[in-house]
């Protein structure tokens, strides 16, 4: 008996150690593939913005313990009632139907629980709402079924971002259905305002690592913001059922240094217009410079 118990204990310890190792290796793996979902992982996708970290804290430290305690408490009550007050154990039921003390407790207690939740919840909502002065503004438009991005302050007109085909995604070592043909590029540690709208039906712009999800509604301009605190590639997707290709309109965001962002803006900015044809044959030969390659962002 003793030895079998010992064996059981050893096995249990082995299982626990294995589970622990699996958990930590999963955590390490999650760290490696920041910004995208990971196979076999539990918990929320790690965040790279202060608000996302705050939201994860709110979920893991406030909501999860409360819901766990309530669930266990209700389960214990159910078990107690089933065992103690079944027909055999309690053949003659009591006839009273009110208990003032119990009724006051089950009214006051939920109010207190909801008040505690609301304190943290409202703080988070206000923080999401109070956008600091934005450094970069992006306009994201949802189409059936791709995204259009525009950088009004950088004079970058709308360009199209489609899903990256499976063979190209595999070749590039990127996750298929999350990788896009044209990523959004934003500078690290800068406040990025995202204005979101829809061109045809309702879509939603969501990037889990930034903790943002905003509806893209035709005729409305919604707004959200994020401030990524590290460089890297982060993925999101449309989060509003918008038609047959809803699952095929991913969002890929590259968070880069300010210098890399400036270089990207320079590469995207419209080239200076070639001189008008009439000037080409004019007296000044300098005017007949070769035409700059036409900026053709139209990719579908």
Binding site for Cu ion (CB under 5 A): 203, 238, 242
Q: How far is the CB of 145 from Cu ion (least distance, A)?
A: 6
Q: How far is the CB of 240 from Cu ion (least distance, A)?
A: 6
Q: How far is the CB of 249 from Cu ion (least distance, A)?
A: 5
Nearer to Cu ion, 51 or 238 (CB): 238
Nearer to Cu ion, 196 or 256 (CB): 196
Nearer to Cu ion, 203 or 227 (CB): 203
Nearer to Cu ion, 206 or 238 (CB): 238
Q: How far is the CB of 269 from Cu ion (least distance, A)?
A: 28
What whole-number distance in Å separates Cα of residue 7 and Cα of residue 231? 49
Strand partners, 224: 194
* Pair 237, 251: CB distance under 8 Å: yes
Q: How far is the CB of 196 from Cu ion (least distance, A)?
A: 11
Nearer to Cu ion, 30 or 249 (CB): 249
Nearest to 151 by CA among 284, 296, 267, 11: 267
């Amino acid at each position: 008996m003793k030895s079998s118990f010992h064996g059981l204990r050893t096995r249990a310890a082995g299982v626990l150690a294995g589970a622990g190792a699996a958990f930590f290796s999963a955590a390490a793996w999650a760290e490696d593939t920041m910004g995208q979902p990971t196979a076999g992982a539990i918990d929320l996708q790690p965040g790279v913005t202060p608000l996302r970290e705050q939201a994860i804290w709110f979920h893991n430290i406030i909501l999860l313990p409360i819901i766990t305690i309530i669930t266990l408490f209700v389960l214990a009550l159910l078990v107690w009632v089933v065992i103690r007050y079944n027909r055999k154990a309690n053949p003659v039921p009591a006839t009273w139907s009110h208990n003032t003390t119990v009724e006051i407790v089950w009214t006051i207690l939920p109010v207190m629980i909801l008040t505690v939740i609301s304190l943290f919840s409202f703080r988070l909502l206000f923080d999401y709402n109070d956008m600091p002065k934005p450094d970069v503004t992006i306009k994201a438009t949802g189409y059936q079924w791709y995204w259009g991005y525009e950088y009004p302050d950088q004079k970058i007109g709308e360009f199209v971002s489609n899903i990256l085909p499976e063979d190209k995604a595999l070749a590039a070592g990127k996750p298929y259905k999350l990788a896009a043909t044209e990523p959004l590029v934003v500078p690290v540690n800068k406040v990025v305002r995202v204005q979101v709208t829809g061109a045809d039906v309702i879509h939603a712009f969501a990037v889990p690592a930034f903790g943002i999800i905003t509806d893209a509604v035709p005729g409305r301009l919604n707004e959200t913001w994020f401030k990524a605190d590290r460089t890297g590639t982060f993925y999101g997707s449309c989060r509003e059922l918008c038609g047959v290709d809803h699952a095929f309109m991913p969002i890929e965001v590259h968070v880069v240094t300010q210098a890399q962002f400036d270089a990207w803006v320079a590469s995207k900015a419209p080239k200076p217009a070639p001189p008008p044809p009439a000037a080409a044959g004019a007296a000044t030969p300098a005017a007949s410079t070769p035409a700059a390659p036409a900026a053709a962002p139209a990719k579908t």
